[in-house]
Amino acid sequence: MLNKYIPIIIAFIGIFVWARPAFAERLVYQPYAETGEWEYETTGQYDFDHAKNKNAVQEYKNTIGYGVNSFWHTELELETEAVPTDEAISSVQTTHLEWENIFQLAPRGKYWLDPGIYLAYEAPVTHKQTGQFEAKILLEKDFQKVSDVLNISINKEAGGGADSHIDGGISWSTRYRLSRYFEPGFEYWNDFSAISHQIDYNQQSHQIGPCFYGHIFRHINYNIGYLFGISDAAPRGELKWIMEYEF
């Protein structure tokens, strides 16, 4: 069965390799914890746009995670990024150390929706950066071979120079479980900025595009996609990928 999907998987891995390396987080979180499971994850995104302040923006994250028990999964992440300046994109710099936690609120399948909570704190590693608290509501619904996952998030900067606003956003993933090796789908991402006041649609970041998920061999999972910007604030295109090794 795996042989049938190898050419498709290789094609998408080829796109991943062809792009400049960057390991950032464009992950729609599932509300589950697996007892005793360790994982190493490297994720990335690379933005494409005609505007200099949005082209070649990158973030980098490498994560080690562990399933403490049947309802708590915890992760430690190191984040680096290259961001716009007044003249050009900055060099890649390490910016934050992040502690993430997922709490599974009910056994899988007990309710119509599988619920979970995500809580995280990003601690700055340089005086030029601010810290950030983030919380997400995690919801998943499986129907036959289709899986839908919704994340509703809020975040707040912390520390010196922090913005006083609380920002919000949503992310959505739908996939069709064609095979454990290849699951086609799509994702939608919306960052609507400060929740205390409404801003115009084009001032918010809206992105949507095809994504492909699956397993490579027994312990390696992949998630590769391309998101199209559908508002002025979003980059015209964004390549995203996630590679995870479970052990």
| pLDDT, tens digit, 9 for 90 and up, residues 118-146 | 999 999 887 777 899 999 999 999 999 99
CA distance 208 to 158: 30
> What is the structure's pLDDT at 129?
77
The domain spanning residue 52 has which CATH number? 2.40.160.40
Give residue 156's domain range.
2-246
Distance (Å, rounded) from C-alpha 237 to C-alpha 59?
15
Residue 212 in contact with residue 239, Cβ under 8 Å? no
| Count of structural domains, the chain | 1
Q: Per-residue pLDDT for 17 more than 50?
A: no
pLDDT tens digit sequence for 35-85: 999 999 999 899 999 887 778 788 889 999 999 999 999 999 999 887 666
For residue 13, is pLDDT > 50? no
Of residues 18 and 90, which shows the higher confidence score? 90
Residue 222 CA: distances (Å) to CA of 10, 91, 98, 215, 231: 11, 27, 22, 6, 28
How confident is the model at residue 3, as a pLDDT? 56
Distance CA 188, CA 186 (A): 7
The amino acid that residue 51 corresponds to is A
